[in-house]
């Protein structure tokens, strides 16, 4: 299972990312980060993980049927809270 993290603040850095990395059968597939300082922290901690500017960008990299992708992107655009997004 691939998991993407939206935001890399205290929760993303100290809770989500370490638990995802420790879980068997799970892959950290990307992190959404926009601020230059946050992007630098992500690159320092996870040099091989893709960094995306938005949830829509990250979801655009997921292979899924176009109808499903459209609905996920639309839902992501309506979200105002930070999300931990899971996809297969």
* pLDDT interval class at 85 (50, 70, 90): very low
User: What average pLDDT does this structure show over 37-55?
Assistant: 94
How does the average pLDDT of the chain come out, rounded? 79
18 in helix, strand or coil?
Answer: helix
pTM of the model: 0.70
What are the structural domains of the chain? 2-87 (3.40.50.720)
Quote helix, strand, coil % in the chain, to nearest 5: 50, 20, 35
Cα–Cα dist 13/43, whole Å: 12
pLDDT, position 66: 56
- Residues 19-43 pLDDT 10s: 988 899 888 889 999 999 999 999 9
Predicted local confidence at residue 65, as pLDDT: 54
């Amino acid at each position: 299972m691939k998991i993407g993290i939206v935001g890399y603040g205290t929760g993303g850095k100290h809770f989500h990312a370490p638990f995802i990395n420790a879980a068997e059968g799970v892959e950290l597939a990307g992190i959404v980060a926009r601020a230059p300082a946050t992007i630098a922290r992500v690159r320092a901690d996870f040099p091989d993980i893709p960094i995306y500017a938005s949830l829509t960008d990250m979801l655009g990299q997921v292979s899924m049927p176009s109808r499903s992708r459209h609905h996920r992107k639309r839902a992501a655009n309506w979200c105002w809270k930070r999300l931990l997004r899971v996809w297969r």
